[in-house]
Structures are given as structure tokens and as C-alpha cells.
Chain A
Amino acid sequence: MDIKVVSSGLQTTIQDMGRNGWRHMGVPTSGAADKYSHQLANFILNKKSNSPTLECTLTGPILKFLKPLSIVVTGADMKPKINEIKLKMNTLYTVKANDILSMGNCSTGCRSYVAFSEDIISDSFLGSRSTYLPAKFGGLAGLPLQLESFLRTKPCDYNIQASKNIEIGAISNFSNEWELRVIEGPEFNFVSPDSKKDIYRSSFIISNNSSRMGCKLEGRRIKLLNDEHMISAPVNIGTIQCSRNGIPIILGCDAQTLGGYPRILQIAEIDFPFIGQLRPYDKISFKKISIHEAQNELKLQELIYSFVD
């Protein structure tokens, strides 16, 4: 027993880079909702980008270490402390046995990632350790962290000398207002001319009813010209479907692989990490970009941040 869960946090799960190549069997990609912050945590520890991290949601856990480890916290700032001493985000710390990491809640962003120098022992399913709560697989028997439970860790090829002591503070400066870049989806033409203007001119509010599966958007209802029944078609992370009552829904990393509602917009992959950081009542607006621009943004990101897959 290496880490004791003193408090579980609102919803803390084990995540990695997700299950790839299984969408044709209805298996969502899953993995960290904000894969950028997840990879950053592993990068600072000089671990492989697919090493499992703890994904904390809105309120983080309290963990008691039973053996010395190195840790990094990235993503939303849940004011992490080790024994009352405040930690900097995106920074490597070494903890001793009996040290306590306590995380509170965040006011911007939604998810925080905790990476350890050792790998958390967890279930692998279809090549990934990421927890998929709806079907209870991956991670810790498919469940979130449980109060008073223990985590076990095992040494990996981690080498503290190689860890990166870098300041990337500016990267995780989240806000409560987001501009997401979008590509118009296959059924964008189902949207009425007035609603098309609304999409780019007005803003939307993230509903309280949001999860790793998706976020509903409140604000102007979208008027659809075409109301006929649609045969389920492929959807992806970041697809914005519009339900019959005009409410847009952003699909998250745990969303289904096929959807029966018009796919009006698709968020550019460069902005996928932000989908995982949207919190209830955040304000979002959309900016149209071309396929070509979206591809260039991905290439640019890879040049600047070598750790992003």
C-alpha cells in the first residue's frame, strides 16, 4: 500500500492517452479529458506520455503518501498543498512517507492531473488504463477513487536526473471565457441562416449537466431547417451535435462513437484539451477556421511542444 486516499475528491479517475483504434466497436477514445495537461505532467517527470495520471474534477483528493515519490500537478489549479505548504503548478516536488497532498477546488478550468514518479497499478483494457465509468472498465476496476482506499505504485523507468524542471506557468492560465476554433460540420446546412449568424456572434454557457461524455450549451437555441430523422452517423470528440430542441452539445472524450443528431460543428483538435477544462457556467464562443488552418495549428503545436502526441 503506497498511497492512502484520505478524501476521494469529486470524481478522481486514472487516465492515460486513451483507447485508440477501437471506435469501430463502439469504444470511445476516453483517456485524459485534457490530454495536453496530462502529457505535460508526464513530460516534467520525464515519463512516457501514456503513463497513467490521476484526473481530478472540480475538487481534488487528499492523498497520504506511504513511501517517497516525486509528483507533478498540472491542469486546473486546485491549490495543491503538501502538509500546508502551497505547491506551484507544473513543478516537480519530492514527497516523503507520511506527507499529505491536499487539493481543494478550482475557480478556473475543471480538471487537474497528478503524475507520480512510479506508475499507479491499474487495470488495462484494450490497450489503455483509462477509466471508462459508464461500462466500468480500465483504471481501478472501472471506478473513481474511493475514500479510505489505497493505491499501489510500481517503479518504472523513471529517472529523476532526467526530469524537466521547467516553468510553463502561462500555458495553464485558464479563464472562465473560452474561444473555441471550429470547422463547420457535415450538417451545418441544417441550421437556419439566422442561427448560423448566432453561432459566431453570440456566446453560450456551459450547462451544469456536463461530464466526460459531453457538455450541453445554454444560450440561444439553434433553429434547424431540417427536422427529419437522421440515421446515426460517425461523431468524434469535439463534435457539436444539435438536438431537436435546439440545444447544442459538445461531445467529450467518453462520448458515443455514433450519433443521431445533426453534426453542426466540429471543434478543431488543437482545442480538444480545452473541452476537458470547460466548467459549468463558463462562457464560450466559436471562431470559424478552415481545415487547412486547423492542420497547420496541429503542426505548429508539435514543433513548439515536443511532448504533445
Chain B
Amino acid sequence: MTNIDLFTIYDFSENILLIEIKNIAEYPDSVEIYIALSEYLRKSFVWREVVTAEESIAITYNSIDISSAEAKIKIRNQIKRFRYLEGLDKKSILSVPVYYSEEFGLDLEVVASDNSLTINEISNLHSQSIYKVKMIGFTPGFAYLGDLPKELFTTRLSAPRVNLAPGSVGISGNRTGIYTLGGPGGWKIIGKTPLDLFNKNKKNPFIILPGMEVKFEPITKQQYKKFNN
């Protein structure tokens, strides 16, 4: 059980504050502590938005009702009451089937040649690790998963694609992610999942959540085709 005692709160705008934990290196898992603190602040239902990034939290308040100084005091008190229980909130690992092939993996060949790997090696490397959801952003429900094995590190496309198919699996830098809803994207696409990671009828329609763990499971074309039948 840990307290957060070294942090700064500063103004980003007239109604947004940023929180940064100062001695973050002393915590076993910096991403996890930001996610847990964000969740705690969000559940107080005092704030308009609580956005979690890897190294800060942005809090939107109603500046008509309270001043920046009052909002800072409120957050300070909330952080004082917050207790980080490491590893208590372990969720099960979400397994995501991926069909790695040039059919949907638009950049599979480029990654193979840039990183001197075969397509088989790419799918083996990509599916061997368990990834953590580092943060959610960019587009609705897009999870930044990390870290990729070093052999798969790659750069973004020089010009992003305008409309990716939903379920496209991309890699960039030391991160991988699934374009759950499709749309624009600049990561290199190595495969596609038939799993629908978006449930329109749920209160929170997104299935991948902050702090969750994800692993990929290679599937064949037949399995891919059968999946949604």
C-alpha cells in the first residue's frame, strides 16, 4: 500500500489542471499508478474529465463554480486519501486472435524487409509477449500496448492512412495497438483481428480498458473466416 506524497498540480488552461507524480521512478509500475489514481479521481464524480496519459493526468473542472486554487486544494485532498494497492486489481489477460497475412497486414512485407524478419517470425514475436494497456487515446478506444519486442520496433508511416479497416493491428515504435473502430492511422499494419472489441449496447462499449493485459494469438485464414459465423 502506497501513498502519493510527491506530486505537482499546475494549470494547463483556465479549466484544466495537470497532475504529475514527481518521484515516479520509485514506484514499481508508473503507468499503473497513474491509471489507479485517475480511476479514483474519476469515481469521485467531481470532475468533468479525467484524462490519463503515461506521465500525467489532466483534470477538467468547472471554472464558473470553483477557482483554480480551490480545484487544486480539492485534488490535493483527494490524492492524500488515495491508497495505491499494488497488484490488487489484476484483471485476466484478454486474448486477441490475429490473422497475420499480407491480405490484411498492409505493411507486413515492409516490416519484414526493414527488420530482416520473415512473416512467420513477425507473428511469432508479436504474439509471444503479454502487453499492458499503457494508455487509451488518439481515437476512441485505441489502446497503446507495450512494450513490443525490440526486433519489431518500427517507425510510423510517412503519411497516415485515411480509413483503416476495423480490427487492423498496427505497430509503431515500441507500441502495438488495434484499430478497434477503423478510421485514420499511421501505424504499420501487420494483421487483423476478427474479434469485435466494441460493444455498442454496453454502457462502456470499449472492451480494452486502461491497466488491462492483452496477448495476441495467431490464427489461420480458415479460423479467421469461421470466427464470425
Majority SS of interface residues in chain A? mixed
Q: Quick one: which of A25, A236, A263, A295 contacts B204, CB cutoff 8 A?
A: A25
Number of interface residues of B (CB under 8 A): 44
Q: Quick one: which of B48, B56, B137 contacts A26, CB cutoff 8 A?
A: B137
* Closest Cβ neighbor of A294 among chain B residues: B14
B14 pairs with A26, CB closer than 8 A: no
Stretch of B94-102, B113-121, B176-184, B213-221 contacting A (4+ beta carbons < 8 Å): B176-184
Q: Which of A263-290 contact B (CB under 8 A)?
A: 263, 266, 268-269
A231 pairs with B136, CB closer than 8 A: no
Q: Quick one: which of A231, A256, A263, A266 contacts B139, CB cutoff 8 A?
A: A256
Question: Chain B 115-136, CB within 8 Å of chain A: the 1/0 string?
Answer: 0000000000000000000011
CB distance from A212 to the nearest CB of B (A): 13
CB distance from A161 to the nearest CB of B (A): 30
Tell me if A299 is interfacial: C-beta within 8 Å of chain B. yes
Q: Which of B12, B64, B136, B141 has the most CB of A within 10 A?
A: B12
Tell me if A85 is interfacial: C-beta within 8 Å of chain B. no
A295 to B54 alpha-carbon distance, docked (Å)? 28
A126 pairs with B53, CB closer than 8 A: no
Question: Chain A 28-64, CB within 8 Å of chain B: the 1/0 string?
Answer: 1000000000000000000000000000000000000
A234 pairs with B64, CB closer than 8 A: no
Q: Quick one: which of A134, A233, A236, A238 contacts B55, CB cutoff 8 A?
A: A233
Q: Name the A residues within 8 Å of B57 (CB-CB).
A: 234
Question: Chain B 142-186, CB within 8 Å of chain A: the 1/0 string?
Answer: 101000000000000000000000000000000000000111100
B14 pairs with A268, CB closer than 8 A: yes
Tell me if B18 is interfacial: C-beta within 8 Å of chain A. yes
17 additional A-B residue pairs with CB within 8 Å, beyond A23-B49, A258-B135? A24-B42, A25-B204, A26-B137, A26-B140, A26-B141, A27-B141, A135-B182, A183-B14, A233-B56, A234-B51, A256-B137, A257-B51, A257-B138, A263-B12, A294-B14, A295-B68, A298-B15
Leading 4 A-B pairs by shortest Cβ distance: A258-B137, A234-B58, A294-B14, A135-B181
**B→A interface (CB under 8 Å):** 10-16, 18, 38, 42, 48-58, 60, 63-64, 67-68, 135-142, 144, 181-184, 200, 204-206, 210
